[in-house]
Protein backbone atom coordinates (compact mmCIF):
# COMPACT_ATOMS: atom_id res chain seq x y z
CA UNK A 1 0.00 0.00 0.00
CA UNK A 2 1.28 3.46 -0.85
CA UNK A 3 0.42 6.34 1.45
CA UNK A 4 0.03 9.89 0.25
CA UNK A 5 2.54 10.94 2.93
CA UNK A 6 5.32 8.61 1.74
CA UNK A 7 8.58 10.46 1.31
CA UNK A 8 7.44 13.67 2.99
CA UNK A 9 9.46 13.09 6.15
CA UNK A 10 6.74 13.81 8.70
CA UNK A 11 5.55 11.82 11.69
CA UNK A 12 2.24 10.09 11.19
CA UNK A 13 -0.21 9.05 13.91
CA UNK A 14 -2.94 6.48 14.21
CA UNK A 15 -5.96 7.40 16.34
CA UNK A 16 -7.33 4.35 18.19
CA UNK A 17 -10.59 4.91 20.05
CA UNK A 18 -13.99 3.38 20.65
CA UNK A 19 -16.44 6.17 19.80
CA UNK A 20 -16.83 9.91 19.99
CA UNK A 21 -18.85 12.05 22.37
CA UNK A 22 -21.89 11.78 20.06
CA UNK A 23 -21.62 8.03 19.51
CA UNK A 24 -21.67 5.01 21.72
CA UNK A 25 -19.50 1.90 21.50
CA UNK A 26 -21.23 -1.14 20.00
CA UNK A 27 -18.66 -3.68 21.21
CA UNK A 28 -16.29 -4.25 24.09
CA UNK A 29 -13.84 -1.44 24.73
CA UNK A 30 -10.68 -3.52 25.07
CA UNK A 31 -7.48 -3.15 23.09
CA UNK A 32 -6.08 -6.64 23.72
CA UNK A 33 -8.23 -8.43 21.10
CA UNK A 34 -7.13 -5.95 18.43
CA UNK A 35 -3.44 -5.81 19.33
CA UNK A 36 -2.24 -7.61 16.18
CA UNK A 37 -4.21 -5.23 13.97
CA UNK A 38 -2.91 -2.25 15.95
CA UNK A 39 0.68 -3.44 15.47
CA UNK A 40 0.12 -3.46 11.69
CA UNK A 41 -0.82 0.23 11.51
CA UNK A 42 1.81 2.02 9.43
CA UNK A 43 2.48 5.08 11.58
CA UNK A 44 4.97 6.55 14.01
CA UNK A 45 2.62 7.45 16.87
CA UNK A 46 -0.31 5.43 18.22
CA UNK A 47 -2.87 7.54 20.10
CA UNK A 48 -5.02 5.76 22.70
CA UNK A 49 -7.87 6.99 24.87
CA UNK A 50 -7.36 6.16 28.52
CA UNK A 51 -9.42 8.68 30.48
CA UNK A 52 -12.86 7.29 29.62
CA UNK A 53 -11.60 3.73 30.04
CA UNK A 54 -10.34 4.17 33.62
CA UNK A 55 -6.71 4.13 32.38
CA UNK A 56 -7.02 0.41 31.59
CA UNK A 57 -4.66 -1.83 29.60
CA UNK A 58 -1.58 0.31 30.18
CA UNK A 59 0.44 -2.89 30.39
CA UNK A 60 -0.14 -3.36 26.64
CA UNK A 61 1.55 -0.04 25.94
CA UNK A 62 4.89 -1.42 27.11
CA UNK A 63 4.67 -4.04 24.34
CA UNK A 64 3.97 -1.36 21.70
CA UNK A 65 6.44 1.28 22.90
CA UNK A 66 9.52 -0.29 21.24
CA UNK A 67 7.91 0.20 17.81
CA UNK A 68 5.74 3.30 18.27
CA UNK A 69 5.65 6.53 20.19
CA UNK A 70 2.56 6.26 22.40
CA UNK A 71 0.01 9.04 22.67
CA UNK A 72 -1.88 8.83 25.96
CA UNK A 73 -5.22 10.56 26.11
CA UNK A 74 -5.84 11.50 29.72
CA UNK A 75 -8.71 14.03 29.64
CA UNK A 76 -12.21 12.58 29.16
CA UNK A 77 -14.02 14.78 26.63
CA UNK A 78 -16.88 12.27 26.45
CA UNK A 79 -18.01 13.14 29.96
CA UNK A 80 -19.53 16.38 31.24
CA UNK A 81 -17.60 16.05 34.51
CA UNK A 82 -14.55 18.30 34.43
CA UNK A 83 -11.51 16.58 35.88
CA UNK A 84 -9.33 18.59 38.22
CA UNK A 85 -5.58 18.87 37.72
CA UNK A 86 -4.86 16.18 40.32
CA UNK A 87 -6.92 13.57 38.46
CA UNK A 88 -5.23 14.37 35.14
CA UNK A 89 -1.81 14.33 36.83
CA UNK A 90 -2.53 10.93 38.40
CA UNK A 91 -3.50 9.54 34.99
CA UNK A 92 -0.25 10.87 33.52
CA UNK A 93 1.71 9.26 36.37
CA UNK A 94 -0.05 5.93 35.72
CA UNK A 95 0.87 6.17 32.04
CA UNK A 96 4.50 6.95 32.81
CA UNK A 97 4.72 3.78 34.90
CA UNK A 98 4.23 1.77 31.66
CA UNK A 99 5.11 4.08 28.78
CA UNK A 100 8.49 5.75 28.10
CA UNK A 101 8.78 9.42 29.01
CA UNK A 102 8.58 10.26 25.29
CA UNK A 103 4.80 9.73 25.57
CA UNK A 104 2.52 12.32 23.99
CA UNK A 105 -0.17 13.59 26.38
CA UNK A 106 -3.54 14.81 25.06
CA UNK A 107 -7.28 14.39 25.53
CA UNK A 108 -9.47 11.45 24.49
CA UNK A 109 -10.37 12.24 20.86
CA UNK A 110 -8.41 15.43 21.34
CA UNK A 111 -10.57 18.44 22.20
CA UNK A 112 -12.86 18.13 19.21
CA UNK A 113 -16.58 18.43 19.92
CA UNK A 114 -15.89 19.11 23.59
CA UNK A 115 -19.34 18.85 25.24
CA UNK A 116 -18.48 21.00 28.27
Per-residue pLDDT of the chain (116 residues; tens, 9 = 90+): 455 666 778 888 888 877 665 666 666 778 898 899 999 988 899 988 888 778 888 888 889 999 999 988 888 887 778 889 999 999 999 999 988 878 888 777 766 666 55
Predicted local distance difference test score (pLDDT) of residue 85: 94
3-state secondary structure of 22: coil
Predicted local distance difference test score (pLDDT) of residue 19: 67
Predicted local distance difference test score (pLDDT) of residue 79: 78
83 touches 76 (CB < 8 A): yes
Question: Biggest alpha carbon distance in the chain?
Answer: 44
pTM metric for this prediction: 0.78
Rounded Cα gap, residues 92 and 107, in angstroms: 11
Taking alpha carbons only, the member of 87, 110, 102, 101 closest to residue 21 is 110
Predicted local distance difference test score (pLDDT) of residue 86: 96
Predicted local distance difference test score (pLDDT) of residue 26: 65
Amino acid sequence: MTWSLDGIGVQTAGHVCFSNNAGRPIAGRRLAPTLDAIRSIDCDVLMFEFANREVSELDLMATLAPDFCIGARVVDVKNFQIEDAEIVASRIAECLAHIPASVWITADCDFSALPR
